[in-house]
Chain A
């Protein structure tokens, strides 16, 4: 099956700092790639996705580019806010040819943004 390796945290930043959370994957074929966010006490929410190589997913100021050469999908944001404090998960389908919604998640990166 596929696998994902995500930079582990916790990550603590000051407001307006630049954020990068690294994610690399191993997969058969070219699966869709996702970033999910989990705010304290809540379920996971889709943050952004990319469905093919060189696609850039973006949402709420966050961006990630599907890089097949480096098998990476790093999450970036130019200026973080306190409200961005959450746990971020990189994800992709569990296996090639299986249901596209069965996902494998990275270990999660906890981001804390200080005022």
Chain B
């Protein structure tokens, strides 16, 4: 079965550079979530989209932005990168915003960003 696809899997950037992460949800999933997991930390919710509109916002820095496109894939854009942005970034998808199925997230394998 198709899973959540994230790219790139690994990314190395310098401080103050920009990075873009991509996420392709499971087919027919209309909701995408982004999480950030620092080394040895629990995942922190960043932002989510439902039907191409931002649906909720967590601890996402102002330097980060994201959007969901017409084909439901999503991109997380990170500018003015800092050393502390080094983390594993997970995308997850689900079907709908309400109801039991909305609770069931399928996570991608993550994109590991290293900022030097």
Question: What residues of chain A have their CB less than 8 Å away from a CB belonging to chain B?
Answer: 32, 34, 42-46, 49, 51, 89, 93-94, 98-108
Interface SS of chain A: loop
- Return chain B residues, CB-CB under 8 Å to A93: 103
For B107, give its contact among A44, A98, A102 (CB under 8 Å).
A44
Contact check, B107 vs A101: say whether CB atoms are below 8 A apart: no
Interface SS of chain B: mixed
With a 10 A CB-CB cut-off, give which of B41, B105, B106 has the most chain A CB atoms.
B105
Contact check, A101 vs B103: say whether CB atoms are below 8 A apart: yes
- What range describes how many residues of B lie at the interface? 20 to 34
25 contacts between A and B (CB under 8 A): A42-B109, A43-B4, A43-B108, A43-B109, A44-B92, A45-B107, A46-B106, A49-B103, A51-B103, A89-B43, A93-B103, A94-B45, A94-B58, A99-B31, A99-B50, A99-B56, A100-B102, A101-B105, A102-B33, A102-B56, A102-B58, A103-B43, A103-B45, A107-B42, A108-B41
> Is B99 in the interface zone, CB < 8 Å from A?
yes
Question: What residues of chain B have their CB less than 8 Å away from a CB belonging to chain A?
Answer: 4, 31, 33, 41-45, 48, 50, 55-56, 58, 90, 92, 94, 97-100, 102-110
